[in-house]
Structure 1
């Protein structure tokens, strides 16, 4: 799965525009089919790490790959969205097509590499190298202000990661190993944990992005081409959440509990503040970009709730947000290709001339709001349950964000799709063609599947969440649910019942 997009990307550079398009599409479809095979052969309830390969390179550094259920789901998200991105760029990208396709295929290789890496330095190389193709995609094929957006994206994400590298060097020196599974089981001294946690936080908080480190995201989204926005929202933002669950929580449980309020405080501000900012946007892409910050705050709230519902909810929100926000950016791309503007006021009444578009756009709007029966509901409901057990005020702030989320998403939908036709050119736009219908239809099917039967997606991750909980339980901060227990003996049955409640 790493080799196919990598070599196809190199091959694209020697082909013409059409050859590059077909090569990229073929390579991403083959990689997706291999991903399906990976999922089918993954043994749920089997060993924690599966499909491992190991080859020493030099010194302590090794080519070490392997996945658990969490990595499996995120790899599936990446390989599912990639062919859709190639299709989205089919007619939209006309200059330097071979280079564009090569950049996307390189990005796919690096994204799979991040989720599969089991050596901490291999992870770092893949994590940072992913910046380069994204920087090129925004900087070469982006909008009018693309150079500013590309530099801002690059510098923000790079600065945070320098601190993370220093922390990694200290950890490897302390533990005597670069293996991520071994480091996850290492007990670092509590006084060092705080500094290590903050160094990793500097990198992951920018990637997620958490408020107030989010300001690069709206600029990057607005300037990026449609496919760039899809992969940025769909997968690159998930690297931060993956980092929290792979490094910050299991490696530094005491520090995670100690800095519980830092994460929750920033997440609560993000949910409310970015939702209010989204309400006043005139640019469709900017509105969806701010909604991404609010949705990713649900992820951080869930992951740091220190209970099963919260962590599983955070993971499902990550998968759901990858699909739904990617689909919303595709919806913006569809009308942008026809009218070449993202200004909400230039549209209106599209339900008359684009009924299929209006229907699919409605489904993704509802999933973003968290309507039961869509993927958005499952994750947000679980994350809120986890947050409520951790602290009721956190749940209160997160719920406020849900209400505001419904406000800005439905208002966007109403202004674009309903009402009177304000402009003749918008009224003359043709409905979805077969290519666009295929792209949006594929995501719609998975969004409904995840909403109706989330067990398919939760089953592979359940055992890994359990192992993470065993690791962090000792440090869990006293939340409302724990404070309510009168004595340890009375709290025992409650703790035992918790995983069962989460399992259902």
Structure 2
């Protein structure tokens, strides 16, 4: 019997998007209300699925599975299922959407209320309709268990995000939107070629993920197919050196769009590494692991140095994300339970922390009509609540102990250290650099001499506080007690390692005195 649970999860935001776009012109307030209601309902639906998800020993890896024939002659199915990795990412995505809706409530009402002075007046109805449509594709890409269906959702996400950046972004929005679209499209075309190659070479006449695992020929074929998937996912993540589109897109996108772009859409790349690259191409994954680990470590350091030199707040936050994705790549390709679990937890916690940081930066930019760090000296003196939220977001971004990102970073480094000590040690220097660029950002914007430009700023209102509160609560809650989420993630990570024939390294115990086989 086919389970309709995930179809229902997709249907809720889809109906919300249709309802918003069907509204007559001028009903912007109703569009916002529908978007908030539907996004909260979608998050509640995801939580219900999370509560019903079984983590006990012997439970199925994929749950709430359903499959319906789509293209019979090609073996394509409209197939969905959740493992622990997909579940936590969907939960994070569906939480971010209502936070973005609330934080963007007044962003496009007029030129004066727009996020940036140069941004044109746009219909709020269109923005919130696009956000709802984007949520449909975000859920679909994590829940799909048919490789062809995954590719469809993977490409479909580009459309609403392209219009969010290009229509509602900053002064260079069209350039940033086109650059984002072209990079992603090139990666998608490589992936499409590899999807066709997987179908032909497997001999299964099926695109189902479970049918394809273990059926891709080894040797050169597997390596080339792996590279097609890997480059597409590395661009989406983005992993160094495929990252150059992100600073432009993150800087020019409206704050809510940037929060979803970096908080959720980019996770599709690292999710793809775990879900598809490793299980489908185990031999190639092991073959390319070391170069990918080296690129990940380079990305951690390179992006950190670039972040410290930024004058634009949103570009700085975008570069911090490139560094964080280096840590995630390090955890995934270390091929250890700790590294893999830490990487997935990092995806979730990075979404919460960076989403919060982009949202609060958006509040600041909306008040000052500028993204330049130098324009906001002493802001915390007149907006103490904003200063406090900014500090929490910054400390989460630098992985302070007690916050959720610390556990993630610790697990990824621990998992990498057991197999690649030198790379793990080099990567730890990224923690020091993160403290520098985050604290410098906070000091230059919130502390110091009060700038005349910020003297009239109003502090966060009730709606803005409501938008950030769930993210703050989760950052602290998962920092103090991450076990429930780790318990959901662990079985899926263990299954992935089993697919590629990897187990955790055995600890090496020092020889005990006298335990030398009887020889003195």
RMSD over aligned Cα, in angstroms? 1.6
**Mapping 1:42-61, distance limit 5 Å:** 42-45=53-56, 46-59=59-72, 60-61=75-76
Partner of 2:104: 89
The structural deviation recorded for 1:471 is 1.9
Partner of 1:18: 29
- Name the CA distance, whole Å, in 1 between partners of 2:347 and 2:456: 37
CA contact (8 A) 2:403 2:478 kept: yes
The structural deviation recorded for 1:184 is 2.7
**TM-score of the superposed pair, with normalisation by structure 1:** 0.93
Q: What does the per-residue CA deviation read over 1:107-143, in whole Å, with 9 as the maximum and x for residues that have no partner?
A: 0000000011111111000010000000000011111
SS in 2 for 1:13: helix
SS in 2 for 1:473: coil
Q: Name structure 2 gaps, 5 residues minimum.
A: 1-8, 110-121, 511-520
- The equivalent position to 1:335 in structure 2, one of 364, 376, 379, is 364
Q: What does the per-residue CA deviation read over 1:282-329, in whole Å, with 9 as the maximum and x for residues that have no partner?
A: 011010000000001100000000111111111111111101011000
CA contact (8 A) 1:120 1:180 kept: yes
Q: Which has the higher helix share?
A: 1
- The equivalent position to 1:101 in structure 2, one of 122, 128, 131, is 128
Partner of 2:201: 174
CA contact (8 A) 2:307 2:320 kept: yes
Q: What does the per-residue CA deviation read over 1:316-349, in whole Å, with 9 as the maximum and x for residues that have no partner?
A: 1111110101100011011111111111111122
SS in 2 for 1:163: helix
Q: Name structure 1 gaps, 5 residues minimum.
A: 487-504
Q: What does the per-residue CA deviation read over 1:210-234, in whole Å, with 9 as the maximum and x for residues that have no partner?
A: 1111110010011101110010011
**Mapping 1:92-491, distance limit 5 Å:** 92-94=107-109, 95-175=122-202, 176=204, 177-421=206-450, 423-474=451-502
Change (3 A) 1:286 1:8: same
The structural deviation recorded for 1:180 is 1.0
- Name the CA distance, whole Å, in 2 between partners of 1:151 and 1:283: 20
- Name the CA distance, whole Å, in 2 between partners of 1:93 and 1:145: 17
CA contact (8 A) 1:306 1:473 kept: no
- The equivalent position to 2:17 in structure 1, one of 2, 9, 34, is 9
Q: What does the per-residue CA deviation read over 1:349-400, in whole Å, with 9 as the maximum and x for residues that have no partner?
A: 2222111111121112111111111011000000000111121121122111
User: Is residue 48 of structure 2 the alignment partner of residue 37 of structure 1?
Assistant: yes
- The equivalent position to 2:80 in structure 1, one of 58, 65, 83, is 65
- Name the CA distance, whole Å, in 1 between partners of 2:483 and 2:213: 27
Q: What does the per-residue CA deviation read over 1:386-427, in whole Å, with 9 as the maximum and x for residues that have no partner?
A: 111121121122111111111100110111111111x22302
The count of aligned residue pairs is 481
- Name the CA distance, whole Å, in 2 between partners of 1:431 and 1:483: 53
Moved more, 114-123 or 91-100: 91-100
- Name the CA distance, whole Å, in 2 between partners of 1:210 and 1:166: 21
CA contact (8 A) 2:377 2:446 kept: yes
- Name the CA distance, whole Å, in 1 between partners of 2:494 and 2:371: 44
- Name the CA distance, whole Å, in 1 between partners of 2:336 and 2:232: 24
CA contact (8 A) 2:101 2:128 kept: yes
The structural deviation recorded for 1:485 is 9.2
- Name the CA distance, whole Å, in 1 between partners of 2:439 and 2:467: 23
The structural deviation recorded for 1:274 is 0.8
Moved more, 88-97 or 441-450: 88-97
SS in 1 for 2:68: strand
- The equivalent position to 1:79 in structure 2, one of 94, 104, 109, is 94
CA contact (8 A) 1:188 1:251 kept: no
- Name the CA distance, whole Å, in 1 between partners of 2:506 and 2:370: 52
